[in-house]
Structures are given as structure tokens and as C-alpha cells.
Structure 1
Amino acid sequence: MSPFLISTGVVALAEIGDKTQLLSLVLAARFKKPVPIILGILAATLLNHAGAGAIGDWLTTVVSPTILRWSIVISFLAMAVWILIPDKLDAEEGNARRKLGVFGTTLVTFFMAEMGDKTQIATVMLAARFHEFFGVVAGTTLGMMLANVPAVLLGHRFAHRMPTRAVHIAAAVIFAVLGVLAWREAGM
């Protein structure tokens, strides 16, 4: 199977319930402008995954697989706790929106949220495994869009019905479970 198809499938599945997918819902609920949000997600993903793909070979020669696995465990468990902390962006939303606009706000927040995310790590590993930068980056970007565009469109249409606290609790539970599963895979 081609690196493009593998990358698309792996990232599309990994993105389901991911913090960036939840961010897509939140952005859609806040701004109610799906087109600039989708374009911001696309631009942020291309930038982020291009960087991840470019360092794929280098990172795997510097970091041992054991350290990488433990980093993933810690990241998942930390995200489970972090997602329950109220977001300070709410108080500054008006200023950020005026300064950056919907596209710019989406670009910056999505790019930052994707830093160290499992799909970014997957992009690094896929690029290192296949040594096919363009196929992997195109595939992981398509996977992100397949998972996030429906979230933006649904979030936009059903924003008034979203129980934000319940979504955060569910996401925290998902991250905790992923952390425990990664812990088991790491050998504990």
C-alpha cells in the first residue's frame, strides 16, 4: 500500500476524538464561519506536517524508541488533565479575533495545538519509515481534513446544542485511556 494511503488512513483514524478535532468544533461554535476555519486548519496542518515530515529522519536517529514511547504516555496523561482546565482564550477572544481574524486565529491556535500531538508524531514516524516526504505530508494533511472538516461543519450547525463541559470531560477520559494504553505498550 502506498505511503500516501497509509498516512491518510492512520491520521484520519488517530484524529477522531483528538484535541484538534475538538478545537475544530470549538472554533466553529465560536466564530460560525466554516470557510475561513477550514482554510486555517488546512494551512496550519500543511505547515505543521511539512515541518514534522522534514524532521522525521533526523528525530528517529536522535531519540530512542523507549524515550519516544514514554513521551507519548506523558503527553496523553497531561492532556487529559489540561483539557479540564478552563481555557483563558475565552476572555481574550474578542482581541484575538479583531487582530487576527477568523482565519488567523484558526491558523495560530490549530498550529499550536498540533505541536507535539499524536498526529504530528505520526507524521514524523511515517516520514521516517517511508522516506517519502510529499506522499506522507499530503496523506497526513488529507487525513486531518477528513476528520476535521465534518467537525467544523457540524460544530457550525449545532453550536448552540454543544454541552462544552461534557465534551471536555469526554475528551479528558479519552486522553486518559490513550495514556494508559500507551503506558501498557511502553512496558509497564
Structure 2
Amino acid sequence: MEALLVSTGVVALAEIGDKTQLLAFILAARFKKPVPIILGILAATLVNHGLAGALGAWITASVSPGVLRWVLGLSFLGMAVWTLIPDKIEDEESQVAQHLGVFGATLVTFFLAEMGDKTQIATVALAAHYATPLLVVLGTTLGMLIADVPAVFVGDKLAARIPMKLVHSIAAVIFVLLGIATLLGAGSGFGF
């Protein structure tokens, strides 16, 4: 249950102000059809984070526990720094696949925007850390929806009121704590 809760919280915080949340704002403003946008976000996130969770599980099975502890600990610390760097949405990402309809455009653009994004990398690291990829993928997907669904419904009005620097700082602190705990051997019950 810890894997689900931590994954949900970390990704929900990290996603605020992320380029995929900005993409949700843009798609909502462009198409004004929240249900297919939300379904596209859900489908893209499940596929993207499912692949990331599988990679995390493979890493857990393939890398020695000592090396894995250091890689994960340093990865979490790197995620803390990356979380403090604001994202910008690329115009091309919001233009891709418009001929596929609202759901298709959302699915394709969200999937592509998440490739190599901090929440995808966090999913890999969390799945490797907790060795429960299904719970992590469910948690990270829920975290994405917690951050992105309100963006679809209220758009820029909400974004202007959220203290982005504070939210990113909180997410960074959580990643730092995860990194330190991992480096100090937390999770040793999981084979670390």
C-alpha cells in the first residue's frame, strides 16, 4: 500500500506545472471536450507508465541489490533537482495528431510528451524501489490524473492560483527523502 500512496503523491506533486499538465490546459482550451481528453490522458499514462513499471521490475531483477540501491538513491536525488526546473510545452507536441480526433490527439500527444519525462523516470525508479510495479503504475497513473484532470476542467484559472514554486519544492523534498532513505538502506526488506 505504501508503494501506491507514495507513487500517487510524488507524481501528483511533480506533475503540477509539468509539460503534460500544460498540454492538458492546451488540449482543453482547443477542443473543449473534457471526457475524451481525460480518457486519452488515462490511456496514454497507463501505457507509458506500464512500460516504465515493467522496466523498473526488470532492473530490480537484473541489477545487484547494492548497485541498485546506489542507482535508485542517486536517481531520486536527481529527480529532486529536475523537479525544481520548470517545464515548457513545445508547440509541436500540442499540434501532433490533430486529425485523430480529441481522444486520439490526446493519447498520442500525452504518450509522446511523457517519453523521458520526469514522471516516467520516477515511475521506473519507484517500481524498482518498491518491487511492486503494478501498485506503482496504478499510483503514478492516479497521481497524473489528480494533477491533470482539474487542468482539463478549470484550465489557466487554477494554474494562476497554484504556488508552483512551493509545490515543486515539496515534491523535490520528497524525492530527496526517498533518495536519502534508499542510500541509507531503507527498503532492505525488498532485497536492497
Q: Tell me if TM exceeds 0.5.
A: yes
Show CA shifts across 1:128-171 (max 9, x none).
0111121111111111101100000112xx6xx799xx9xxxxx
Residue identity in the other structure for 2:141: T
Q: Residue 53 in 1 paired to residue 57 in 2? A: no
Residue equivalent to 1:97: 98
Give me the identity figure in percent. Answer: 57
The Cα of 1:16 is off from its aligned counterpart by 1.1
Distance (whole Å) between structure 2 residues aligned to residue 146 and residue 2 of structure 1: 18
Residue equivalent to 1:13: 13
8 Å CA contact 2:39, 2:103 repeated in 1: yes
Moved over 4 A (4+): 62-77
Residue equivalent to 2:190: none
Residue identity in the other structure for 2:47: L
Please, what TM-score do these two structures have when normalized by structure 2?
Answer: 0.67
Show CA shifts across 1:10-53 (max 9, x none).
11111111111111101101111111000000000000000000
Please, what TM-score do these two structures have when normalized by structure 1?
Answer: 0.68
- Closer/same/farther in 2, CA of residues 89 and 131 from structure 1, 3 Å limit: closer
Distance (whole Å) between structure 1 residues aligned to residue 97 and residue 112 of structure 2: 15
The Cα of 1:97 is off from its aligned counterpart by 2.2
Distance (whole Å) between structure 1 residues aligned to residue 32 and residue 4 of structure 2: 32
- Closer/same/farther in 2, CA of residues 74 and 9 from structure 1, 3 Å limit: closer
- Closer/same/farther in 2, CA of residues 48 and 66 from structure 1, 3 Å limit: same
Q: Residue 148 in 1 paired to residue 152 in 2? A: no
Aligned pairs (5 A) from 1:157-168? none
Q: Residue 87 in 1 paired to residue 91 in 2? A: yes
Residue equivalent to 2:37: 37
- Unaligned runs of at least 5 residues, structure 2: 177-192
Residue equivalent to 2:124: 124
Distance (whole Å) between structure 2 residues aligned to residue 5 and residue 66 of structure 1: 19
Distance (whole Å) between structure 2 residues aligned to residue 138 and residue 57 of structure 1: 14
| Aligned residue pairs, count | 161
Distance (whole Å) between structure 2 residues aligned to residue 116 and residue 140 of structure 1: 15
Residue equivalent to 1:114: 114
- Closer/same/farther in 2, CA of residues 67 and 5 from structure 1, 3 Å limit: closer
Distance (whole Å) between structure 1 residues aligned to residue 81 and residue 11 of structure 2: 20
Show CA shifts across 1:54-76 (max 9, x none).
00144473884698579759977
The Cα of 1:96 is off from its aligned counterpart by 3.2
- Unaligned runs of at least 5 residues, structure 1: 167-172
Residue identity in the other structure for 1:87: D
Aligned pairs (5 A) from 1:134-145? 134-145=134-145
- Closer/same/farther in 2, CA of residues 105 and 49 from structure 1, 3 Å limit: same
- Closer/same/farther in 2, CA of residues 122 and 110 from structure 1, 3 Å limit: same
Give the root-mean-square deviation of aligned CA atoms.
3.4
- Closer/same/farther in 2, CA of residues 144 and 89 from structure 1, 3 Å limit: closer
The Cα of 1:88 is off from its aligned counterpart by 3.9
